[in-house]
Structure 1
Amino acid sequence: MARAFRATTRGYKADLETHERRLISQLCADVISLLERRGEQITDGAAESAADQGSAAGDDVFAHFRRELAGLGVGLEDSAASQEAEPAGLAAPEDPVLARLLPEAAEDPQEAAQLRRLTEASLRESKLAGLRTARMLLESDPVTLTEEQAPIFGRALNDVRLTLATRLGIEDEADAEQIHQMAGSSQAATTEQFMAEVYAFTTWLQETLFSAMLELLPDDGDEIGSAEEGAE
């Protein structure tokens, strides 16, 4: 039986059954696959776009001369303008899970596309690194986290929860409560009930980790007292 995360002198510990650790690790692997495919799709799309542009330029026998004239500052304003045009933005992912893991950073569609082009890759790589770290940490029994690893593990659990929540159609507190009731009603007989149980378990595990982390936060009064003692 799983035992909640607890604060220790060396960080945080949780006792999980082997099948529980394997389950969470596999869920992390599933999210990793989603994020990696997103990166591959973007890379393939960029390569196709570059190939199309190269082919179009090659078909134009006057392209070289236009570039030379533009370099000399002679006419061809339309060519110069096309060279100075802003690169296209990046469209949001169609998969609702990816759309939730990699949300829009602005309400305006054009601004959101530009921001996504600039920031999505780093966000995606950060999530991938965290999920891979979580899988590594889940290999130990008990699961043991240092102060530095705890927030990374917590964020990985959150990405798993977001993935499950999206697949289960959880949009608000009422939906979440219904899923928790489904998880605690009886033994899982359907895929949805099994997912509900996994969602509830992942939620519980994340909450126990954050609660344990809060236990080790310094009290404001203690900080003030330490500062006063240091001043003396």
Structure 2
Amino acid sequence: MARAFRATTRGYTADLDAHERRLISGLCADVIQLLEARAAEVSGAAEVKARPQTPQHDDDAASTAGSEPSEIASSQAEDDDVFAHFRRELEGLGEEVPDAGMAPPEDPVLARLLPDAWSPDHASDRGEAGQFRRLSEASLRESKISDLRTARMLLESSPVRLREEQAPIFGRALNDLRLTLSVRLGIEDEDDAEQIHQMAVDGGAKTTETFMAEIYTFLTWLQETLFSAMLDVLPDE
């Protein structure tokens, strides 16, 4: 049976059964997979967007129609060497290509884990939010993946021992697991959270929802004991 986190001379310690550690580690792996899939999706979209276009110009074809093959090859080589760069620059003149930034994830779990910096009300705000997301999402995503991987490593030991600098990392990982489950359970406010807690306490028929409710309640308790232990060692001032 799980025993709450407590402060020690070397950090923080909690006693978790093997199946509890496996459960939390498995949830970490699931969220890592979700975040990595988002990274692959964004990378693929950026690669397509950045792929260079090389349209054939009618005037180029007409100018070489009556030339000998060797002359055509020579002319094209010179054109590539001397004018290709300028042609690419000139083709973009007069065209406005708005930077739409990066669209938020469609998956509601990812939307909760990787939120916009603010809630845009107007089209201009949405554009700014997308540009900010393009600049910031990758670092947030990688930070969360790193936290979750560290948590999995720490869960390999029994009891679970956290050094002082590892405690916030483990706490953030637990919070991301709670966020993931809260979306799946439809938790939007404190009333919803209380209903889920009551569902876990009451037990009853073992459905997927009641099982997730029990895990959510367990993770909430574990995180609270960790933060309480961290607060206990803070100086009074």
Shorter-chain TM range is: 0.7 to 0.9
- Structure 1 residue aligned with 2:223: 206
Matched with 1:80 is 93
Which one of the candidate residues 109, 130, 136 is aligned to 1:119?
Answer: 136
**Corresponding residue for 1:39?**
39
Which residue is 2:233 aligned to? 216
Choose the corresponding residue for 1:141, options 155, 158, 170.
158
Pair 1:29-2:41 in alignment: no
Number of equivalences: 211
Give the CA deviation at 1:123: 0.2
**Using the alignment, how far apart are the partners of 2:168 and 2:232 within structure 1?**
14
Q: Distance in 2 between matches of 1:6 and 1:205?
A: 11
Pairing 1:130–2:147 present:
yes
Alpha-carbon separation, structure 1, partners of 2:87 and 2:161: 66
Residues 60 and 45 of structure 1, relative CA distance in 2, 3 Å threshold: farther
State whether structure 2 residue 128 is matched by structure 1 residue 96.
Answer: no
The alpha-carbon deviation at position 187 of structure 1 amounts to 5.0
- Report the counterpart of residue 214 of structure 2 in structure 1: 197
Q: Which has the larger radius of gyration?
A: 2
Query: How many Å separate the matches in 2 of 1:6 and 1:187?
Result: 32
**Aligned residues: CA RMSD:** 2.1
Offset, 1:59: 3.3
Q: 1:93 to 1:145 in 2, by over 3 A?
A: same
Displacement after TM superposition at 1:81 (Å): 5.0
Shift in Å, 1:186: 1.9
Contact 2:151 2:169 in 1 (8 A): yes
* Identity within the alignment, %: 65
The aligned counterpart of 1:227 is none
Distance in 1 between residues matched to 2:18 and 2:213, nearest whole Å: 20
Q: Select the structure that is richer in helix.
A: 1
- Partner SS state of residue 179, structure 2: helix
* Alpha carbons 1:5, 1:13 under 8 Å: kept: yes
Shift of 1:86: 5.7
Q: CA deviation at 1:48?
A: 1.8
Change (3 A) 1:69 1:29: closer
- Residue 174 of structure 1 aligns with which residue? 191
Q: Aligned partner of 1:79: which letter?
A: G
> 1:3-22 alignment to 2 at 5 Å?
3-22=3-22
Using the size of structure 2 for normalisation, the TM-score is: 0.83
- The more displaced of 163-172 and 104-113 is 104-113
Contact 1:13/1:143 (8 A) holds in 2: yes
Secondary structure in 1 matching 2:234: coil
Which one of the candidate residues 56, 59, 62 is aligned to 2:56? 59
Whichever residue aligns with residue 217 of structure 2, its letter is A
Shift of 1:188: 5.2
3-state SS of the aligned residue for 2:175? Answer: helix
